[in-house]
Every structure is written in C-alpha cells, then in structure tokens.
Structure 1
Amino acid sequence: MSKQVDMELFLAGVLTGSHATRQRHVRQAKIIQAEIAVRWHRETPWAWQRKHLAWFLDHRMSQRSGATRYYYVLTARQLARRLEKPWVFHL
C-alpha cells in the first residue's frame, strides 16, 4: 500500500481565503480521500477519476444538508483544479 498523501501540501497551491476556509478544505479532502480509499482502493488523488469524486458526492453526501453538500462540492472543485482536470461538479 502506498503512503498517504499529505492533503495540506497537495492543496497548498490552489487554496486561497482565510485560514479557516483552507483548513476546512483540507479536512474535507482528507475525508474524501479516506472514503475513496476504502471503496475504490485508490490511495492517492492522482489515481482518482471523475467517477470517484462523483460517487462520493452522490452517495456519501446524499443524506447530508444542502450546506454540507455545497462545501464538499467546493472542495471537490479544488481537488479537480489541483489535478488540472476539467471535471465539473454540480450541486
């Protein structure tokens, strides 16, 4: 099994805003990473496909409030931006 990616370092180049906002994106990215690793056995973001993030947003966030889903979509967009992928995620 590969070493876990440091999400704070991974996202450092694309995150802007307040310290609290950056920490929220990092925390949510770690949750996304853990869920994808369990379900799809993809440890690093470079191994992810759009379907992995879409699965997380559609299935793992389906019972969450609209506000929570919104913030996770923002984090997914940051991840796609960092990976330089043209992936689009809607609310």
Structure 2
Amino acid sequence: MSKRFDMDLFLAGVLSGSHATRQRHVRQAKIIQAEIAQRWQRELPWAWQRKHVVWFLDHRLARRCKVTRYYYLLTVRLLVRRLEKPWILKCQTKIR
C-alpha cells in the first residue's frame, strides 16, 4: 500500500511569507503535479525533468492572464529550489 505524496511537507522547507501565500503555492504545486502526472505519468517531483515543467508553463498556462502565469512561475521556482535543480526558467511575462 503506497501513501499519497504530501506536497505540503515537500514544500515546507522553502515556503515563506503569509499563510495565504503559502497556501497558494501549495495549491498551485498540487495542480502542477496533477497536470504533469496526467500528461507524462510522473507522479513525484523527483521524477520530473525540465521539459515537464516547461511544458506546463508553455502549454497549460498559455491562455491564462499574465498575472496567473507569473504566480505559477513563482511556485515553479520554489519547486526547483526544493528539488535542488540547476534549471533556469524564464518568464515571457513582464509585470509592471
């Protein structure tokens, strides 16, 4: 019997800020995880490659507003920091 992956616990070490901000990052990370798992059959973040994350940012968020894409990029950066990967992800969106 396998346990479900706990995204709250996974991100606990890199989360900071207000309670609402932390909850938003966890919620968005769960959405990212579900989308990558559905498309690529990669359940755990340790199995992700850079192409999976870039696919999510480029294809699943393509029709979202700039602010939404920016907030998801912030969550992805937290995931990358937690995974200790050297990935550089650039945002096409400039927020002013």
Shift of 1:89: 1.4
Residue 46 (str. 1) matches residue 46 (str. 2): yes
Shift of 1:4: 3.1
Residue 30 (str. 1) matches residue 65 (str. 2): no
Percentage of pairs with the same residue: 74
Using the size of structure 2 for normalisation, the TM-score is 0.90
Unaligned 5+ runs, structure 1? none
Q: CA RMSD in A?
A: 0.9
Counterparts of 2:4 and 2:57 in 1: how far apart (Å)? Answer: 21
Counterparts of 2:7 and 2:26 in 1: how far apart (Å)? Answer: 6
Q: Which amino acid aligns with 1:84?
A: E
CA contact (8 A) 1:4 1:43 kept: no
Counterparts of 2:5 and 2:79 in 1: how far apart (Å)? Answer: 13
CA contact (8 A) 1:4 1:44 kept: no
Residue 90 (str. 1) matches residue 90 (str. 2): yes
CA contact (8 A) 1:25 1:75 kept: yes
Q: Which amino acid aligns with 1:70?
A: Y
Number of residue pairs the alignment of both structures matches: 90
Relative distance call for 1:37 and 1:3 in structure 2 (3 A) is farther
Counterpart mapping for 1:4-83 below 5 A: 4-83=4-83
Moved segments of 4+, more than 3 Å: none
Using the size of structure 1 for normalisation, the TM-score is 0.95
Unaligned 5+ runs, structure 2? 92-96
